[in-house]
C-alpha cells in the first residue's frame, strides 16, 4: 500500500540525496513498511487507552498496560536508582516498539522488522546516543568522560581507550543479539510451517512469542544498565 500511494515522493527524496532504488515502483522496503505499521499500531493503542482511562473501573487493556509500566518502573528503580521516573517514558517506548516489532511476525503475510539488521541497529544506536546524552546531561561532558578513565588515576591512560572501545561495541552487540535471535526464530517458524502446516506451527508460534518478550526485555534492561552507569555519581 505504501508503494502504491507513496512511491513518487520517496523516489523524489532518494533522487535528492543521490540514492537509486533497484525497483522505482517499490521504493519502500518491507522492514520500513512494517516499522510504519508498528508505529501506527502503537499510536492507535495509545489513543484508545487515553480515551478509556478510568480510575474506578479500569478495563483489561488498561490493566495490562499498567502492569507493563509498573514492571518497567520497578526494574528502572532498581537499576538506575535516583531519577529513574524521568527516563521511564523512553524505556517504555523502546520496549513496546521492539516487542510489537517482534510479535508482528506471527501474523501471516507480515514480517518482524527486527529480523532486518537495519531496525535493531537503529534502536541500538538510539540507545547508545540516549545513555551517553543522559550521562552528559547528568555529569557534564568532563564528568561523563571521567567514567571512561576509571577510578585509578595511574592507569587512566590505559583504561580510557579500552572503555571507549567497550562503549562503541555496545550498539554492535545489541544489534547482533536482537537481529540474530529474531531472524533465527522467524526462519525456523517459516521452515516448520512449510513442513507441518497444522500441528507444529502452534508450538513455534508460542516459542516466537516467548523469544519476542525475552529479546525486548533484554534490550531494555541492558539500556537501563548503561544509563545507570552513565548517570551514577562517584561514592553512590
Residue with the bigger pLDDT between 173 and 109: it is: 173
Domain locations along the chain: 53-231
50-69 average pLDDT score: 89
Q: What angle do CA 42, 45, 49 make, to 5 degrees?
A: 140
Q: What percent of the chain has pLDDT over 90?
A: 48
> How does residue 236 score in pLDDT terms, banded at 50, 70 and 90?
very low
pLDDT at 204: 74
Element (H, E) at 219: helix 200-231
Whether 144 contacts 230, CB under 8 Å? yes
> How does residue 158 score in pLDDT terms, banded at 50, 70 and 90?
confident
> How far, CA to CA in Å, does 77 sit from each of 70, 83, 165, 225, 228?
10, 8, 28, 11, 10
pLDDT at 48: 92
Length of the chain: 236
The lowest-confidence range among 35-49, 154-168, 171-185 is 154-168
Q: What angle do CA 122, 125, 128 make, to 5 degrees?
A: 150
Task: Give burial (CB, 10 Å; 0-12/13-18/19+) of 152.
Answer: exposed
Taking the C-alpha atoms of residue 176 and residue 47, their distance in angstroms, rounded to an integer, is: 33
Taking the C-alpha atoms of residue 25 and residue 178, their distance in angstroms, rounded to an integer, is: 31
Element (H, E) at 140: none
Residue with the bigger pLDDT between 120 and 52: it is: 120
Looking at every residue in the chain, the average pLDDT score rounds to 85
Taking the C-alpha atoms of residue 128 and residue 90, their distance in angstroms, rounded to an integer, is: 13
Taking the C-alpha atoms of residue 78 and residue 13, their distance in angstroms, rounded to an integer, is: 45
Q: What angle do CA 117, 120, 123 make, to 5 degrees?
A: 145
Whether 48 contacts 26, CB under 8 Å? no
Radius of gyration of the chain (CA): 21
Grid cell at residue 226: 548503561
Taking the C-alpha atoms of residue 117 and residue 76, their distance in angstroms, rounded to an integer, is: 27
Alpha helices in 80-155 (DSSP H): 88-103, 118-139, 141-149
Amino acid at each position: 500500500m505504501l508503494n502504491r500511494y507513496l512511491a513518487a515522493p520517496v523516489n523524489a527524496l532518494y533522487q535528492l540525496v543521490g540514492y537509486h532504488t533497484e525497483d522505482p515502483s517499490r521504493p519502500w522496503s518491507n522492514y520500513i513498511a512494517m516499522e510504519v505499521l508498528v508505529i501506527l499500531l502503537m499510536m492507535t493503542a495509545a489513543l484508545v487507552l487515553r480515551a478509556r482511562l478510568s480510575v474506578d473501573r479500569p478495563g483489561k487493556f488498561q490493566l495490562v498496560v499498567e502492569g507493563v509500566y509498573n514492571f518497567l518502573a520497578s526494574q528502572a528503580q532498581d537499576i538506575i536508582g535516583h531519577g529513574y521516573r524521568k527516563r521511564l517514558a523512553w524505556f517504555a517506548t523502546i520496549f513496546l516498539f521492539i516487542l510489537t516489532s517482534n510479535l508482528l511476525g506471527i501474523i501471516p503475510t507480515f514480517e518482524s522488522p527486527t529480523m532486518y539488521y537495519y531496525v535493531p541497529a537503529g534502536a541500538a544506536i538510539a540507545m547508545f546516543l540516549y545513555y551517553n546524552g543522559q550521562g552528559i546531561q547528568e555529569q557534564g561532558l568532563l564528568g561523563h568522560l571521567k567514567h571512561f578513565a576509571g577510578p585509578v588515576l595511574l592507569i587512566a591512560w590505559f583504561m580510557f581507550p579500552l572503555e571507549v572501545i567497550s562503549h562503541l561495541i555496545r550498539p554492535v552487540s545489541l544489534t547482533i543479539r536482537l537481529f540474530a535471535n529474531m531472524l533465527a526464530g522467524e526462519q525456523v517458524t517459516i521452515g516448520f510451517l512449510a513442513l507441518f502446516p497444522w500441528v507444529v506451527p502452534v508450538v513455534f508460534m508460542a516459542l516466537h512469542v516467548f523469544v519476542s518478550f525475552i529479546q525486548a526485555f533484554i534490550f531494555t534492561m541492558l539500556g537501563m544498565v548503561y544509563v545507570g552507569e552513565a548517570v551514577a555519581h562517584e561514592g553512590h
